[in-house]
Amino acid sequence: MKIGEAAAASGVSERMIRHYEKIGLIAAAARRSSGYRDYDARDVETLRFIRRSRDLGFPIEEIGQLLSLWHDRGRASADVKALALSRAAELQRKAAELEQMRRALLDLAERCHGDDRPDCPILCGLEGLA
């Protein structure tokens, strides 16, 4: 199938497929005599794997590791689990940071009168004065 068909079947955009090939995350597709890239069902399966990994927050480097583990039938599942737990811990850390930012913004908004006066605790807070 051509790149557009592979993109539609996998949920990965054509641009990202080309990018993944360029950075070596996936092997470059075979080329037809016409010059078009030619993808098969296994390529689409790999692209879906990458999309699901990205959806779960894995960065490209870790997706490369996951792909290697996926292809290695002699892998230890402990290696895969360690990557997943590490990613989950990083997501928890980011969630805590986001919650802290949300609380700070709500605190600043609570202190703002939101009227026609020019004084604004939100701007003062962003300036570092509140």
79 residue type, one letter: D
Q: What is the pLDDT of residues 34-43, one digit of tens each?
A: 888 899 999 9
CATH architecture for the domain at 1-56: Orthogonal Bundle (1.10)
Domain boundaries, the chain: 1-56, 76-130
Q: Which helix (H) or strand (E) holds 50?
A: helix 41-55
Average pLDDT, the chain: 94
Geometric angle at alpha carbon 17, from 7 and 28, rounded to 5° = 120
The model's pTM: 0.82
The pLDDT score that the predictor gives to residue 129 is 67
